[in-house]
Amino acid sequence: MLNSTDPQDVFSKQVPKNLTANIVYFIISLASGLFLVPYFINSLGVASYAMIPLATSFTSYVNLITVSLNTSVSRPITIELQKEEFKKANVTFNTALFGTLGIILLILPIILLLSYYSPSFFEVPSNQENATRLLFLGVIIAFLLRAWSSNFGVSIFAYNRLDILNIINAINILVQVSLIILFFKLDSPNLAYIGLAYLIAAIVAFALTVFFSRRTNPHLKINIKDFHRSKANEIMEMGGWVIITQIGSLLFLQIDLIVVNKLFGTLAGGEYSIAFMWSSVLRTIASVLISILTPVILTYYIRGKIEELINLAKSAIKLTGLALALPIGFICGFAPQLLSLWVGPEFVKISPLILIMLSHLVINLPVMLLFDINIAYNKVRTPGIVTFWMGVGNFLLELTLPFITGWGYYGVAVAGAIVLTLNNAIFIPWYTTKILGIPRTTFVSSIFPGVLAVFIITGSCRLINFLVPVSGLGALVISGIIVTIVYMVSIWVFTKENIERQIIMSMLPSTIRYRL
């Protein structure tokens, strides 16, 4: 059990383990995505494949309340556990656990209705109605089960054991992929088997989360008598505004799949989902990097080390942007080649869509770290209101811009890029500086290095392809290795004697750190 006594101890000892586990989880997640997309397209067809990202995105709406409540619980329970106030922690834990369970039971009838009528709402391929219903039912119940199990995961998070959480997430993905392949081989490709695989994997992940929660923190006990209505009201007060924020975020990040499906049909939805997969990969990379520092930020806040918190946030935004610049620039620079090798030459036409969907993420993803500061200070009301109305504006713009401009589903991607940038790159940094009482432009300078790096890497990849046309997998891999080595050496030189260099070093295992 990790019982931190100093923020720097947490940072120097546990961060390398967390980073390693995060990287492993990301590699497994990326590999499964790269494998499953062409596998599903070849097995089911583009139109049927479009139902899968729709189902997984739809769970985000159903899962809204439970995720928001868990976010609200992580702050107080981390504070209580680090202060060794175990009685209070048990009240918070059981109130959240049974409160979330009650909410899940209440919305189960809604889930059944949503799953049953999903073929009526979306344009479903013929003879796939029942399979689509089972897909939605299995995926949504799986996500709700993972959401409830995250109540146990909060105690693991509180002790900064993100390595354990990511191992569980990696196992969840491996079980999903293995079962999907097994079911498809034993019988035939069917959307219903995907829903079943998600559900079984969620049960496995649930059991693992409960087991490791008890191992990491034996102080929390399940006891319905520790459910306190006053604590539930306290959690709901913060959770309510987090819910509003989550609704706005979903209107930014998930609504476009539904809009494209409804406006342009299932085939267009399948093509859009291919590009959307790369956006999801980059969001995973960002979450891998940011989640490492979330417990540290809470610890700095608890200890009153605000200046260290600010410096850490500035450096983390810069480093996250620089880290994201490499995959964003490479994917945008070699988009036609990647699409041709990955899903087939017929999809090269959506290369501009990938450029639109990915290029702005180098600005919008790194600043997500600042929302953790808002949570630490319990200042989530204003961000919730602004994010909600920005999300509504994004939805309306996605409905109108494609027809005003004639850009089709490219207009949906452009609308999302515009509104998300207004919210994340302008409002969130400004509001965080207001909370901290520091100059408004404090975090702005941390964003620009990543933006510049994306332009340089994208241009370099395009130049490589112009001078030596890249067509095969071998040439693409060699180009990627060259770009990566040159970029990493440049970053190492660029961060010389900076606090960013210290952060990079602290994330490395001690043996590698010593050699460097």
The two tokens of residue 364 are 């919008």
* Under 8 Å between Cβ of 360 and 421: yes
* Under 8 Å between Cβ of 242 and 68: yes
pLDDT at 147 over 90: no
* Under 8 Å between Cβ of 160 and 297: no
Determine whether 481 is exposed, middle or buried from the number of CB atoms within 10 Å of its CB (0-12, 13-18, 19+).
exposed
Sequence-ordered list of residues with C-beta below 8 angstroms from that of 31, at least 6 positions apart, any chain? none
- Residue 514's pLDDT is what? 59
* Under 8 Å between Cβ of 270 and 46: yes
DSSP state of 123: T
- Whole-number percent of the chain with pLDDT over 70: 84
Average pLDDT, integer, range 416-443: 86
- Residue 3's pLDDT is what? 39
Sequence-ordered list of residues with C-beta below 8 angstroms from that of 107, at least 6 positions apart, any chain? 62, 65, 144
pLDDT at 12 over 60: no
pLDDT at 124 over 90: no
Give the span between the Cα atoms of 364 and 317, in whole angstroms: 10
* Under 8 Å between Cβ of 62 and 201: no
Least confident of 76-80, 380-384, 481-485: 76-80
Least confident of 92-101, 164-173, 247-256, 275-284: 247-256
Average pLDDT, integer, range 439-444: 84
First to last CA, the chain: 30
- Residue 499's pLDDT is what? 64
**DSSP result, 210-263:** HHHHHHH-TT----GGG--HHHHHHHHHHHHHHHHHHHHHHHHHTHHHHHHHHH
Residue 203: pLDDT band (50, 70, 90) is very high
The answer to whether the predicted template modeling score (pTM) of the entire model surpasses 0.75 is no
Average pLDDT, integer, range 147-156: 81
Average pLDDT, integer, range 143-166: 80
The two tokens of residue 120 are 């009526």
Q: What is the mean pLDDT of the chain?
A: 80
Dihedral sign, CA of 401, 404, 409, 414?
A: negative
Q: Which of 426, 70, 60 is nearest to 242 (CA)?
A: 70
Neighbour tally for 116: CB within 10 Å: 14
- Residue 178's pLDDT is what? 93
pLDDT at 416 over 60: yes
The residue ranges of every structural domain in the chain are 1-227
Highest-confidence range of 56-60, 99-103, 314-318, by mean pLDDT?
314-318
Sequence-ordered list of residues with C-beta below 8 angstroms from that of 318, at least 6 positions apart, any chain? 366, 446, 447, 449, 450, 500
Average pLDDT, integer, range 505-512: 59
If DSSP states are collapsed to H, E and C, what string results for 374-396? HHHCCCCHHHHHHHHHHHHHHHH
266-305 tens-digit pLDDT: 788 888 888 888 888 888 778 777 777 777 777 788 778 8
